[in-house]
Amino acid sequence: MGEASVRQLVKDGAKVAIMDVDEVSGNRIVSEIGNSIFCKTDVTDEKSVQAAIAKAMEAFGAIHFALNCAGIIGSAKIISKKGSIPIELFTKVLQVNLVGTLTVIKNAAEKMLANTPNADGEKGVIINTASVAAFEGQIGQAAYSASKGGIVAMTLPIAREFADYGIRIVTIAPGLFETPMLGSLSEKALESLVQMVPFPKRLGRPSEYARTVKHIIENPLFNGSTIRLDQAIRMGAR
């Protein structure tokens, strides 16, 4: 979804800094789309995030929007036949999904403060990625749901704070999408998931997420809310 968004935004005239731990994919995308740079970034390491943002500032002179897509699942029951969930696993999911999101938010927002405001007084836009698991987490998703629920919960208070600075913040909560997270599942498992989707009865496409990102950036009335991009799905317990 992050890659699709990068491609969409560059197509529309943006200059983009891709921040990821995957150097191979990041550099490949840069070579394919142009008007972009790659910054190897670990969102759990604030110094890494700060270095990437400094690189983006050096390349482009300003940051007008930031999109948080980094995330891991870390599926595990609290108690199972293998024993209880390792606290290290729970903490890692929170560090990547929730703390990593906030780390990017605060460091990107600091740079946005220097931007010249538009007619509405807007200086920047921040978009986060949650999940429908924030609302209907399944068995084994305690860590993932907690991390995504945290992103949803902090969106409004940050929007209220950033209103004084002219910075909007919006969260997208995707349903079931064609992503690497689902790519490892068998065809039978994928079909079972699709059957839970009311309409349209298929997996969401990354390009559809990217179009939502574009619309949020372009529509100044989106602020402080979480948009469910989920085809009316409500996840079952399993």
Write out the catalytic residue numbers: 144
Count the Cβ atoms, other than its own, within 10 Å of residue 175.
21
Nearest one of 13, 26, 29, 22 to 65, comparing CA atoms: 13
**Owner of token pair 């689902």:** 182
**Cα 35 to Cα 218: distance, rounded to the nearest angstrom:** 20
Radius of gyration of the chain (CA): 18
Q: Which residues pair with 40 in a beta bridge?
A: 20
User: Among residues 74, 71, 99, 96, which one has the least CA distance to residue 87?
Assistant: 74
Strand partners, 129: 172
Q: By the 8 A CB rule, do 168 and 162 touch?
A: yes
d(CA 5, CA 28): 15
Cis peptide preceding 206, ω within 30 of 0: no
